[in-house]
Amino acid sequence: MIMLPCRLGAPRPGWTRAADIVVIGSGIAGLTAVLHLRRELPSARVLLVTKAHLDAGSTRWAQGGIAAALAAEDSAADHLADTLVAGVGLCDPGAAQVLVDEGPARVRELAELGARFDRADDGSFALTREGGHLRNRIVHAGGDATGLEVERALIAAVRADPEIEVIENALVLDLLRDADGRTAGATLHVLGEGSRDGVGAVTAPTVVLATGGMGQIFASTTNPGVSTGDGVALALRAGAVVADLEFVQFHPTALWLPPAAAAQVGAQPGGQQPLVSEAMRGEGAVLVDAAGEQVMAGAHPLADLAPRDVVAKQMSRVMAAQGVEHLYLDARGLGAQTIERRFPSITARCRSVGVDPVTMPIPVAPAAHYASGGVRTDLWGRTTVPGLYACGEVACTGVHGANRLASNSLLEGLVFAARIAHDIAGTERAGRRGDAVPAAPIVGRGSGLTDPAERAELTRAMTDGAGVLRSADSLRATAKVLVGLGDLRLSGATVTAGPPAWEMTNLRTVATALVAADATRTETRGSHWREDFGERDDVHWLGRILTRLDPEGELIIDVEPMRPAP
């Protein structure tokens, strides 16, 4: 029996704010949700809450672009086919169809909002390919700075609307619910001044989670430091169903740096590793070992443009066989002009640590990059808790299945955030203010905190036992570490309530649920690779693993078979 806290140990709220809708998170999904809500419900009070500054989430780090069928020779059907192949049988076909059908309009909408995408000579979108795509359909900006430009345009639009209240530097703690179990807002901790300082409550009948990913559960990740799984942990504590947690995508080509060089770019151990975009391989760069031998030759028909799980696994195999910590991405064949024009950010970052992509292969290694799983939603972003929605990386719409197709992530945030706004606008609860704080913030009695001093041990255990390579033995060892971290009687530590302890508790909650899902799925599929069950098994495992906490904090695992395609 696995037990986890049903609420965070925290002081009672010392201040309140009331709104009609609270959106938590300021990446592409959260910002898009807010803007669409304002458009569809101009009289509603919309509050945007974000953990750090508005631009501090994962969106700004997205280099490659946004996938959408915009070319004359492309189609939604082709995009759908590539998405389903990458998802290895576990995509929700209905969700994937929504994504590819509505995606082009959302991208054009972004451009109309002011996002400056790269253009071809005739003024059309400049499109490129990435791994798993059989067509050129990746829209990009600034060469390799798509997320930064998208974030800039969205934030500018939010700041231009004086009716949108924004609370920055606010860590969400727990969901508030009313006596009927419906959403009634959330508790927050704000690092600020005046009445908003400390723990408070934002009351609202509708909450939209757009809190991003959980990459910080691993020792090496491309995710920013704010990606500690807060939204998934909150949802679990609130009794929501979480799906597909075992499918964590490891990006094959994070810039590998020795510790001294890592410090120069802020990539400290356990922090955020600089990303070398897959689009570089889309332009023709190849993975090689120290002897110059191509790593992906013969490993997959698409070679270096194979789906990310295939590339990460092959790299891990080669690294293990050769006893090395990294391989190389050789882009020299692209030429200086292409490298510097198409990848200015990557080039500058590499040069800042003494690696010139024009003349040198780039040292790279896989790092945790994207969570395909998350809070389970339907096609309108509704979770299993009434009034609670989720979109972006925190959500599991079913679009990605066992492995996200490259550049479908930003598109998913755009499409489903807009659908959430449309659904909220169509409900009678949208205009009801949440003016009273419920007596009990969540269902369930258990509260707890985990010692933040143990964070390095958690991330190390997760990387070693639940990273790219997994087995029953490694997962068992990792689960044992996680149980120990939750037992303060073993360490004798006294934990003080505050952001470090709350983040650490969220990390342990999400890691524990992920390892339980990993151990349950005894097959290899997509980004979930079991060394002891190396084959895909459609007889027993063509289904989704659902995770939830019962009211007493027991972790419940269910397996839901996939419905046959119509």
The reported pLDDT for the residue numbered 145 is 85
- 317 HSE (CA, 13 A, CB side): 12
Mean of per-residue pLDDT scores for the chain? 90
Residue 258 pLDDT > 80, yes or no?
Answer: no
Note the pLDDT tens digit of each residue in 491-518.
Answer: 667 888 999 999 999 999 999 999 999 9
Confidence at residue 259, expressed as pLDDT on a 0 to 100 scale: 56
Q: What's the pLDDT tens digit per position in 118-161? A: 999 999 999 988 878 999 999 999 987 899 999 999 999 999 99
**Range with the poorest average pLDDT among 276-290, 467-481, 482-496:** 482-496
216 has pLDDT over 90: yes
CA distance 518 to 145: 34
pLDDT range class, residue 440, cuts 50, 70, 90: very low
Q: How many residues does the chain have?
A: 566
Residue 505 vs residue 262, higher pLDDT: 505
Report the DSSP pairing between strands 327-330 and 286-288. antiparallel
What proportion of the chain, given as a percentage, has pLDDT over 90? Answer: 75
In terms of Cβ atoms closer than 10 Å to its own Cβ (0-12, 13-18, 19+), residue 77 is exposed
Inter-residue contact 250 to 19 (CB < 8 Å): no
Q: Per residue in 238-248, pLDDT tens?
A: 999 999 999 99
pLDDT tens-place string over residues 397-411: 999 999 999 899 999
Distances (CA, A) of 471 to 243, 371, 464, 474, 524: 20, 19, 11, 5, 10
The pTM score is 0.90
What would the mean pLDDT of 524-543 be, rounded to a whole number? 95
536 is catalytic: no
Alpha helices for 323-450 (secondary structure H): 336-342, 344-352, 408-425
Predicted confidence (pLDDT) at residue 69 exceeds the cutoff of 60: yes
pLDDT of residue 309: 79
Q: How confident is the model at residue 478 (pLDDT cuts 50, 70, 90)?
A: very high
Higher per-residue pLDDT: 361 or 257: 361
The pLDDT value recorded for residue 269 is 42
Catalytic residue among 38, 135, 308, 470: 308
| CB 220 within 8 Å of CB 463 | yes
DSSP of 495-550: PPPSHHHHHHHHHHHHHHHHHHHHHH--S-BTTB-BTTB-S--TTT-SEEEEEEE-
Reply yes or no on whether the pLDDT at 430 is more than 50.
Answer: no
The pLDDT, as a whole number, for residue 268 is 43
> Tens digits of per-residue pLDDT, 297-314?
999 999 998 877 789 889
Contact between 21 and 44 under an 8 Å Cβ cutoff? The reply is yes
Q: What whole-number distance in Å separates Cα of residue 504 and Cα of residue 214?
A: 12
What pLDDT does residue 566 have? 54
Bridge-based pairing state of the strands 183-190 and 170-177: antiparallel
pLDDT tier for residue 196 given thresholds of 50, 70 and 90: low
Structure tokens at 173: 């703690």
What per-residue confidence (pLDDT) applies to 219? 85
Residue among 151, 373, 352 nearest 244 (CA) = 373
CB atoms within 10 A of CB 259: 9
Is the pLDDT at 32 greater than 90? The verdict is yes
Contact in structure between 372 and 400 (CB atoms under 8 Å):
yes
Please check the confidence at residue 414 and state whether its pLDDT lies above 50: yes
Query: Can you state the angle between helices 146-159 and 93-113, rounded to 10 degrees?
Result: 70
Structural domains in the chain, CATH included, are: 15-247+372-430 (3.50.50.60), 254-366 (3.90.700.10), 452-539 (1.20.58.100)
